Amino acid sequence: MEKMLTQLKKIFQTKSWPNYKFTTRLSALEVKRKITLLSKSGVTRYLLTFILVVFLLDLVFPLPKPKPYSKVIYASDGSMLTAYLSKDEKWRMQIHLNEVTNDLIKAIIEKEDSWFYWHYGVNPYSLIRAAFQNITSQRRISGASTITMQVVRMLQPAKRTYLNKLTEIFRAVQLELHYSKDEILEMYLNLLPYGGNIEGVKSAAYIYFNRPPGKLSLSQSVLLTVIPNNPNELRPDQNLKEAIRSRNNWLKIFMGRKTFDKQELTDALEEQVSVSRYPVVKKAPHFCRYVSNNYMGNEIRTTLNSSIQETAEKLLSGYIERVRSKGISNGAVIIVHNKTNSVAGYCGSYNFEDSVSLGQINGVTAVRSPGSTLKPALYAMAFDEGILTPAMRLPDIPTDFNGYEPENFDEKFRGNVTAKYALVNSLNIPAVQLLQQVGPDKFISVLDKAGFSEISKNKNSLGLSLILGGCGVKLEQLVHLYSAFSHEGKIFSLNYLKGQSLNDTDATGLFTPASSFLISTILSSNERPDFPAGFLYTTNLPKIAWKTGTSFGKHDAWAIGYNPDYTIGVWLGNFDVKGSPDLTGAGAAVPLLFELFNSIDFKPKKLWFDTPANVLEREVCSETGLLPSDNCSNLTKDYYIRKVSPNNKCDLYKSFYVDAKETMQYCTECLPDSGYKKVSYPVYKSELTLWYLKNKIQVKKIPPHNALCQARHSGDGPKILSPQENYEYYIEANTSQQIYMQAASDPSIKNHYWYIDNEFYKKSLPGDKIFFTPKKGESTIACLDDLGREEIVKIKVNYY
């Protein structure tokens, strides 16, 4: 025993105290001092023994577990968006003292336990008085429960017996050891019963008065202090008259005790009480479901901006009503504030309650085909890898990519176009060719870093069609990707919780600041087919960059836009996956995107992005986008990235010896002594030349070579367009299916000669399609032009 007392004395004399909160009038130092004084008297042994017993009981009989709270979601301004029932099916919203009016706290303490801040969980005087009254009257006349004891009873309900009262007293002392007075009072306010499944002051304030507890009047506050005495009989939504009678009784008692100002109490007595069973607010339902499912805690304080959310919901709902007749029944919107990368607006559907349109499906997280919305990321990669600059040319002509023959949205082709034109007009063939050049695996790796989980999961089965929408994405993921362009190519996690900030150490670099600026510049052009007619001149639209997308079959319409302030994503479609001829990114989604920017950012804080130091301008050949040579007469300005962009000189124009009338071409072997001149001609790729000829587009043609020349020629020969090198065919047996051969040459070539497995097959004109029935196995196909130049491809045929 002596050793135990010595050990306890050491505990009180050390600076390291156990995890108990002495938060009453006695500070830790005062307790130490009193222990030291008591140690000099005979009381010490008994006092320390009592303390030891309390400590041991506390270890053996721990406090009951706290009751679960409702999960409450808040907007960035602190307003409640919604709440969910607790695990035990109660409306029990957690409240803190700073959320409660002083009137309510004052009324509670005065009514229930005026000595609350002076006792240690039990009021001895009240206990003795209640015991005397109850024994002498042989019935229960008065209670002696303090607020702390009531908390114990609410945490661990039990029948009212003397043994349970003793247990309650012990638990009250135990509670005081573990928690401060304010913490105990908070527990009390959170556990008070208000009838049915309503518990706690906050729940009662919202459900009975439709307002937060911090905005209750004195009359309403006092009403909430009396209901817990008999919650089923005093429920204001069922027995308002009796509840008001009890409230008035206590208002008069407070008047007698001068607890509040007399005039305030008089006004409270005369106040008309309007009470109803209000439904718990349900704002931004898809957003709240998302954060509730993905974040822990009883109180989730989010980044959602109430004003922006209200605007987004109003615009989306109104827009869907206008386009419903066009077969478009739903839409989704997500708005990200770029400064903090926080979600400021979030509409999963136009109307959560519309079951006919499947409004409970969340369009922000639904997996859909992205159409062309991934193209900006591909072009940014090409800029970063020095493959391309905005003015460089890409062929937009019919192309066979090993059996995959994509078409443009309007089923038209434009020939040789600039990269800027191809991206702004969302041309498909240049994008597929660029993906083939960059490499699908490398592109998928970037998308994986950006968080495209469905693409990552299916990466082994994705091919060139990926860039045209042959994959699954979410609107949230697309907006996340585009937000990187506003952060100089760095992607940050989307913030849903208030208080989070951007940290460069957590960022992932997708693109460089230079390529991000080039993409932003290209996509901010107003000279494009997807710009709504007249919109620029009738609104306060800020400068934005945007890209549209339309899925195959016109099931999904997308528009993603951004500027320095916001990144906004819009999806329109039908959750039953029905298509509509009007479901296009340009026609359906862009007008809503513009309305959103016009409403929430009509006065942007920053007009546009700064030009990176390594992005410069230079003059290039307007026909190729390459550095001009001596033969280039038409020049234009183009952005380039220093030490990254290609510095190749334009080689489109080549010099040829021709006769005076430019009808015949000479080589050095057949060049006459006189009557010739040297002229520059554009030499396009053979497949582009063929497309020009077929579409009757006038280009300066190289004259045919001197027919009498006997010399053999080197250089570029015919280009076999079909079949593709090393392509493997699978043909159904007994169907007489054939394969076509086609090759292109420069305009000076008159004939092609086709050979199959070293045997002559047929003569044709350049560009003509020649069909043949293939044999099983490998075959070698050769095409010669009339200058003896050839190209050879190998194929394999399987019959099944």
Please give the C-alpha separations between residue 310 and each of 103, 431, 519, 599, in angstroms, as whole numbers: 33, 38, 31, 11
The residues with which 83 forms a beta bridge, in sequence order, are 72
pLDDT on residue 280: 92
Q: Kindly report, residue by residue over 589-625, the tens digit of the pLDDT.
A: 999 999 999 999 888 888 899 999 999 999 999 999 9
* CB burial readout 18-37, b (16+ within 10 A) else e: eeeeeeeeeeeeeebeebee
The residues with which 393 forms a beta bridge, in sequence order, are 418
pLDDT on residue 157: 82
CA distance 301 to 297: 10
The residue from 99, 112, 271, 790 that is catalytic is: 112
Phi, then psi, of 774 in degrees rounded to 5:
-80, 155
Is residue 589 within 8 Å of 569, Cβ to Cβ?
Answer: no
3 state SS of 529: coil
Does the active-site annotation cover 321? no
Q: Which of 379, 368, 377 is nearest to 449 (CA)?
A: 377
Is residue 595 within 8 Å of 319, Cβ to Cβ?
Answer: yes
Residue stretches of the chain with pLDDT short of 70: 1-44, 47, 125-144, 532-539, 710-715
Phi, then psi, of 752 in degrees rounded to 5:
-120, 145
The residue from 372, 580, 645, 779 that is catalytic is: 372
> What letter would DSSP give residue 776?
S
pLDDT on residue 41: 54
CA distance 201 to 199: 7
Does the active-site annotation cover 99? no
CA distance 418 to 410: 18
Q: Is the bond preceding residue 581 a cis peptide, omega within 30 degrees?
A: no
pLDDT on residue 135: 60
Q: Which of 516, 166, 189 is nearest to 338 (CA)?
A: 516
Contacts of 78 (CB under 8 A, 6+ apart): 301
